Amino acid sequence: MLNVRLYIELMEFIKAQGIDISKLSFSRPEVLQGK
């Protein structure tokens, strides 16, 4: 089972790096362009 706390910390780390999570999850142009 996924450790929720580790998952949340990972999401916070990604946000801190200035990375859009949607860009990691999807490669579709409409997802990358729209937010």
What pLDDT, in 10s, does the model give residues 1-35? 568 998 889 888 888 887 666 666 555 555 555 54
Predicted local distance difference test score (pLDDT) of residue 29? 57
Closest CA to 10 of 28, 2, 1: 2
15 CB-near residues (< 8 Å, 6+ apart)? 21
* pLDDT value of residue 18: 75
Can you tell me the distance from the alpha carbon of 23 to that of 10, in angstroms, rounded to the nearest whole number? Answer: 15
